[in-house]
Structure 1
């Protein structure tokens, strides 16, 4: 029975890969605080929505389907991981909606994306979206963006997912189907302040009282770890695109970014990403398909080698000098006679002996020879 369920879940997953994930444009900018896994689970949940659905529609899926979508095996650890991701997804999808009263007075409604997410012991999941956000996800007629689920599932970084959604939500032209062999992506021109870019990609934190605090990074870190990661992966996924990111500056301070993505018709291998006027090195595949940045050799490597050799030569010359000094000392020592003569030569010793003998004669009236023959008792 379990094998049959797994087979049905897998076939159901394959059938869903061409379903469109459809959301309002505002939602494309609302979930920067989600992680990549949470983004992919959210997109999978959105893929169940049909144009004819209403706010009362309830959706049913399984943890096993989500595992297959994420490419994970059905282990107990992964079931727990996905269940935890659904829990965080419910907690981290709070929304602020700007609405208007009947007299035109604007107001802010604080709500959330899901009304509830139920998970039972068999792994069945029930989802119901909040009625407050129904205009953003149901019966969309104008401002929406859409992707094939398979197109989103091949993305690795959460920043790339967000950039892809921003690209789709910003342009007026709608994206053609992923399976279309002649598809041509629309060009993009997107300009925004640094604060807006960070709100789209980083989101916010929530304290114990429920207050939201926007996450802020330095401009350099944000460019490298968020925008750079997203644009380099986009260049891999869409190699016929030229991507240019230009910082907007006030003096030396970065206050925003302008992103331009244009389609090209070429078969040449070239750097397609230009950030701050500098072409980015292409990323290459490592072992087992894991992509990593190609390590480049520093341009001043010859200078470093020359400096190292000069230091080596200096150290060796100092050693040679020390060896020469030791050799000179050894030569001086070896030049001295091996037999030590003592403090006095023979003439001096005889004079001293005679003087001592004369003094003894005066004191005792006897010679030293007589003293040696005298008995003590």
Structure 2
């Protein structure tokens, strides 16, 4: 018998009146601690799903609203091929995100928040989806303009990137860009810092980190993100690399002689 998971769900249709192309240019805003101090194991698609959900938050929201969407909408906004198999994979992603832990360290409060991504996820046979972000994320996603310690970017940027390492490095570069591209943005840290930030295996020696994580991520970002021109630098003590810097050499409104 054919596996029903690989067919379009019953009465699959679009429930959203917004244009998908316009939605991809919604902005995602998140507290910098969520970028630099959160530890989690979301894969690339799950990172994009979270960015999509966060892009639905309005600056004036004081609490998380229930997000009404659909498999149809998710597939189109995330640039996925619509099929029963894709829908089943998205359903599994959402289920995994309900269970996966995230740890967020607050520098101001010297506190670690341990929570999951969603409070609830409801799925209908017709492809309709309803979900709500866990309320513990409120300090990191709501009323961000009150303290100004946040980073903003277009959903379309992360949707384009295929690797989770590319997505997480992209966010670090955006967070480091304090003057909106008027000078070179620099992300710097030890190899262990980069392994933590990008969710790379802890067992990786620097050679593997550079070959399998940093270099491919830099290459993909430079290829797909128009206002990023990343370059890697490293400092050694003896034979060991102790410091890594990634520069974004793209400067807005650069004057050429």
Q: TM-score, normalised by structure 1?
A: 0.57
Q: Which residue of 2 aligns with 1:124?
A: 128
Q: Does 2:164 correspond to 1:164? A: no
Secondary structure of 1:195's counterpart equals helix
In 2 relative to 1, CA 84–242 (structure 1 residues): closer, same or farther, beyond 3 Å?
closer
Please name the residue that 1:139 is paired with. 143
Structure with the larger RCO, 1 or 2 (CA within 8 Å, 6+ apart): 2
Instruction: Assess, with a 3 A threshold, how the Cα gap between structure 1 residues 240 and 86 changes in structure 2: closer, same or farther.
Output: closer
Give the match's secondary structure for 1:168. Answer: helix
How do residues 23-172 of structure 1 correspond to structure 2 at under 5 angstroms? 23-29=30-36, 30=38, 33-98=41-106, 106-141=110-145, 142-172=148-178
**How many angstroms apart in 1 are the aligned matches of 2:98 and 2:129?**
13
1:13 is aligned to 2:17: no
Residues 282-297 of structure 1: matches in 2 within 5 Å? Answer: none
Contact map agreement 1:191 1:257 (CA 8 A) in 2: yes
After TM superposition, list the pairs within 5 Å mapping 1:182-201 onto structure 2: 187-201=184-198
In 1, Cα distance between equivalents of 2:68 and 2:227: 39
Q: Please list, as runs of the form range in 1=range in 2, the aligned pairs for 1:264-279 lying within 5 A after superposition.
A: none
| Runs of 4 or more above 4 Å deviation | 8-11, 238-242, 264-267
Q: Whole-Å Cα distance in 2 between the matches of residues 74 and 126 of structure 1?
A: 19
Structure 2 matches for 1:228-307, cutoff 5 A? Answer: 228-238=215-225, 242-263=229-250
For 1:173 and 1:162, how far apart are their aligned partners in 2?
A: 20
Would the aligned equivalents of 1:22 and 1:147 in 2 still touch at CA under 8 Å?
yes
Give the whole-Å Cα distance in 2 for the aligned partners of 1:31 and 1:20: 23
Indicate the RMSD between aligned Cα atoms, in angstroms.
2.8
Contact 1:194 1:257 in 2 (8 A): yes
Paired with 1:64 and 1:84, the residues of 2 have a C-alpha distance of 15
How many residue pairs match? The answer is 242
Alpha carbons 1:10, 1:68 under 8 Å: kept: no
Larger Rg: 1
Task: Out of 214-223 and 137-146, give the one that drifted further.
Answer: 214-223
Pairwise CA distance, 1:124: 2.1
- Structure 1 position 199, deviation (Å): 0.6
Q: 1:97 to 1:244 in 2, by over 3 A?
A: closer
Q: Distance in 2 between matches of 1:192 and 1:99?
A: 17
Q: Does 1:216 align with 2:216?
A: no
Superposed displacement of residue 130, structure 1: 2.1
Mark the runs of 5 or more structure 1 residues left unpaired by the alignment. Answer: 175-183, 204-213, 268-377
Question: Does residue 1:202 correspond to 2:185, yes or no?
Answer: no
Render the CA deviation track for 1:56-103: whole Å, top value 9, x for unaligned.
4222111211111233333221110110111222333422444888xx
Conserved in 2, the CA contact under 8 Å of 1:99 and 1:109?
no
Higher helix share: 1
